């Protein structure tokens, strides 16, 4: 018997992971009081985001064909 020496075909996939990610989001806001600064950050883009990837919790993983909306695999993860 002859072995099939053809390697498996590889594809590109887009993997999207919903996570709870501890991190720090920094805004620079010009305001008169701290309370006003809190109100002004709503709808603003942050100046800096620092992630702590070691503390992340995966919630759901979705794998799509690259540049497509065709969902190939989905797994809900309960990590504690």
Tens digits of per-residue pLDDT, 6-47?
Answer: 888 888 888 887 888 899 999 999 999 999 999 999 989 999
Kindly report the pTM of this predicted structure. Answer: 0.55
Q: At 1, is the pLDDT very low, low, confident or very high (cuts 50, 70, 90)?
A: low
Hey, where are the domains in the chain? 13-76
Give the C-alpha separation, 61 to 42, whole Å: 28
Q: What is the dihedral of CA 36, 39, 40, 46, to 10 degrees?
A: 120
């Amino acid at each position: 018997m002859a072995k099939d020496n053809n390697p498996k075909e590889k594809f590109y996939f887009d993997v999207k992971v919903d996570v709870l990610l501890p991190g720090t989001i920094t805004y620079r806001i010009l305001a008169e009081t701290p309370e006003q600064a809190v109100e002004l950050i709503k709808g603003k883009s942050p100046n800096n985001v620092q992630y702590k990837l070691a503390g992340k919790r995966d919630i759901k993983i979705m794998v799509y064909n690259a540049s497509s909306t065709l969902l190939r695999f989905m797994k809900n993860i309960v990590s504690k």
